[in-house]
Amino acid sequence: MMRILRRFKSLPIRSRLAMLVAAAVAFGVAAVSVTCWFIVRGKLYDEIDNTLKAQKGPIAYGSFQRAIKNCGKDPKSGSDGPRGRSEYYSQVVQANGTACTFDGSAGTVKVTESDKEEAKNPSWDVTRIRTGTDSEGNDVQVITMPLVVAGEVPGSGPVLVQDASFLVAIPLKSTQATLNDLALVLLLVSGIGVVGAGAAGLAVARAGLRPVDKLTEAVEHVARTEDLSIRIPVEDDSEDEVARLSRSFNSMTSALANSRELQQQLIADAGHELRTPLTSLRTNIELLTRSEETGRPIPPADRKALLSSVKAQMAELAALIGDLQTLSRSDAGQSGDRIQVVDLQETVEAALHRARLRGPELTITADLQPWFVRAEPSALERAIVNILDNAVKFSPEGEAIEVILKAGELTVRDHGPGIPSEELPHVFDRFWRSPSARALPGSGLGLSIVARTVQQSGGEVSLQPAQGGGTVATLRLPGAPTPPPEAP
């Protein structure tokens, strides 16, 4: 049985569906056919039984006498049987089991022990119908009833004969032939129905699984060629499971294609950005190495400047690698284990402390109100630090930076040169740097990290020119002024 199940599971889905449909139809047809056969059989036997019951009545005294004379003999070819119908079996059964056939009886019915018992104890109201056999082994339907004989003297009433019973039978050959023919017809119809159901099930399975075949071909094509541009056509108004699966596949390939494009762009941009500090580092190190090999030392002032440049380039390279790591974690999505309720006021205060250390010549004011959000603490602090670092970098010495946190909206306003309107759509792009800021340190990833972190926290960020000069950075994060209650 287990082997059959394993082989069944190894078949293609369309074959399994066709077999299941055929099996279901076969079961239904078999149930209907068997029920129909038994109903017809019951009706035919009921008609026979009703015909037999109609034979109940007194037997003419003369016929009874002739039957007694025929005890133990073969029936004659006359037509004195009940109602003169020679297709019936009619006989008297004595208490000792002897059968006395009437003239014109179709044959002799075998006597059973129950027939003998009824002959020994006759009763006016006892009638029994059973299936028996004649002397040649043919099946007959038999009714056994009390033997009632019309009076010997004309005008006298019927008499119940003791130690005898009256037996009438009808052959079942024609009825059985009818039932056999019906069984054959039902069997043929059932076979045709099962074969037709199997063919219809296979056709329906092929039609229903055609979209799945297309989806399979698409997946195999993607696995073979890594071509993520393939799409499966789906009707707009279709809402079945296959349509939903096709839409999900199209969405998945679109997301993978976008992810691959972003990865390729990130690698290309990272390679471009890394090339400059690496080239400068290699040049400076080669100068130092050449001075050692040739024995012509570099003047102390130049050597100090050269080492300072190497140190600055290494710091820039380390910052760029850190930004790339942060950005790659943002692309991978936030982990549910790192998401927690964060006190945004405390996070901004920590970022302000770092900003004041980096810009001691600036005046940084803050007006912060409590606000609690759900985010990754370290990523959120890094994003706010990047916003403040941007304001510090572009603020002239002695200027002020205003930081306000109110109802989940954090604004950072500086008094720097501002951002030209044509550059605003690009400020959150990776590695994008304003032409006027390319001489300043930085990788062009800070604002991109801010945008990705805020979006993953369910918020939004924007940069706008400020009235009177400078820039206003605005972060909006969903949350509440009080922390949510802890789960029990």
pLDDT digit string, tens, across residues 92-143: 888 888 888 888 788 888 888 888 888 888 777 768 888 888 888 889 999 8
Share of the chain above pLDDT 90, in %: 11
pLDDT value of residue 409: 92
Question: Which range has highest mean pLDDT (43-47, 64-68, 356-360)?
Answer: 43-47
Relative orientation angle of helices 241-294 and 173-225, to the nearest 10 degrees: 20
Name, in order, each residue with C-beta under 8 angstroms of 482's C-beta and a sequence gap of 6 or more: 370, 372
* Most distant CA pair in the chain, distance: 166
Tokens of 441: 């340190």
Alpha-carbon torsion angle 204, 208, 211, 212, nearest 10: -100
Number of residues in the chain: 488
Ranges for all domains in the chain classified under CATH 3.30.450: 56-171
Rounded Cα distance, 472 and 450, in Å: 14
Domain 337-480 has CATH 3.30.565.10: yes
Rounded Cα distance, 103 and 118, in Å: 23
Residue 393 has pLDDT above 60, yes or no: yes
pTM for the structure as a whole: 0.48
pLDDT digit string, tens, across residues 280-316: 778 878 877 887 777 777 788 877 777 877 777 777 6
Tokens of 166: 């009256």
Bridging pattern class, strands 139-149 and 372-375: unpaired
Residue 78 has pLDDT above 60, yes or no: no
The mean of the pLDDT values for the chain is: 79
Rg (CA), the chain: 52
Lowest pLDDT segment from 73-82, 165-174, 233-242, 415-424: 73-82
Residue 223 has pLDDT above 50, yes or no: yes
Domain 241-329 has CATH 3.40.50.460: no
Name, in order, each residue with C-beta under 8 angstroms of 32's C-beta and a sequence gap of 6 or more: none
Banded model confidence at residue 444, pLDDT cuts 50, 70, 90: low
Rounded Cα distance, 55 and 85, in Å: 11
Alpha carbon 477 to its chain's center: 37
Instruction: Give, in degrees to the nearest 5, the angle at Cα 328 between 324 and 330.
Output: 120
Alpha carbon 409 to its chain's center: 44
Name, in order, each residue with C-beta under 8 angstroms of 422's C-beta and a sequence gap of 6 or more: none
Question: At residue 130, what is the residue type?
Answer: R
Ranges for all domains in the chain classified under CATH 3.30.565.10: 337-480
Ranges for all domains in the chain classified under CATH 1.10.287.130: 241-329
Question: At residue 144, what is the residue type?
Answer: T
pLDDT digit string, tens, across residues 229-247: 777 777 767 777 777 777 8
Alpha carbon 203 to its chain's center: 22
Pick the CATH number of 56-171 from 2.60.40, 1.25.40, 3.30.420, 3.30.450: 3.30.450
Banded model confidence at residue 43, pLDDT cuts 50, 70, 90: very high
Q: What is the 3-state secondary structure (H, E, C) of the chain?
A: CHHHHHHHHHCCHHHHHHHHHHHHHHHHHHHHHHHHHHHHHHHHHHHHHHHHHCCCCCECHHHHHHHHHCECCCCCCCCCCHHHCCCCEEEEEECCCCEEECCCCCCCECCCHHHHHHHHCCCCCCCEEEEEEECCCCEEEEEEEEEEECCCCCCCCCEEEEEEEEEEEEECHHHHHHHHHHHHHHHHHHHHHHHHHHHHHHHHHHHHHHHHHHHHHHHHHHHHHCCCCCCCCCCCCCCCHHHHHHHHHHHHHHHHHHHHHHHHHHHHHHHHHHHHHHHHHHHHHHHHHHHHHHCCCCCHHHHHHHHHHHHHHHHHHHHHHHHHHHHHHHHHCCCCCCCEEEEHHHHHHHHHHHHHHHCCCCEEEEEECCCEEEECHHHHHHHHHHHHHHHHHHCCCCCEEEEEEECCEEEEECCCCCCCHHHHHHCCCCCCCCHHHCCCCCCCCHHHHHHHHHHHCCCEEEEEECCCCCEEEEEECCEECCCCCCCC
Name, in order, each residue with C-beta under 8 angstroms of 475's C-beta and a sequence gap of 6 or more: 383, 384, 387, 409, 410, 411, 450, 454, 459, 460, 461
